[in-house]
Amino acid sequence: MGKPNAFTKWIKTNLLLVFTFIGVILGAVLGVSLRPVNLSKKSILLLSYPGELFMRLLGLMILPLIIASLITGAASLNAKLNGKMALRTIVYFLSTSLVSSLIGLILVLA
């Protein structure tokens, strides 16, 4: 077997991205092809479970990632700016989280 060409090397480097695109395309094709079939509620639940689980896991990962990036960013500043910038960052994060929560509640209850 000869040297791997650039395409093969790119595929090996970006394998997770390739699998993600394949999963999205297969999910879309499966969704469109199963649309005319009258599936029972149980089979719809079984088909949607992996996607629902994945979305919930992503939701659980968002807050720790944001907090970790805020702490890392605040710790990388010099000592004089660290206190002021950390306080500003935390206040900004909390205020934007509050605003987004309020918008979400208003949209759900309206």
**Under a CB-based contact definition with an 8 Å cutoff, are residues 28 and 51 in contact?**
no
Q: Give the tens place of pLDDT for each residue, 90-100.
A: 788 889 888 99
**pLDDT band at residue 26 using 50, 70 and 90 as cut-offs:** very high
pLDDT greater than 70 at residue 67 = yes
Residue 16's Cα: distance from chain center in Å?
A: 14
**Under a CB-based contact definition with an 8 Å cutoff, are residues 72 and 88 in contact?**
no
Mean per-residue pLDDT over the chain, rounded = 84
Conformation bin of residue 88: beta by default, left when phi > 0, alpha when psi is -120 to 50: alpha
Crossing angle for the helix pair 15-34 and 41-75, to the nearest 10 degrees: 150
**Under a CB-based contact definition with an 8 Å cutoff, are residues 75 and 82 in contact?**
yes
**Which pTM does this prediction carry?**
0.50
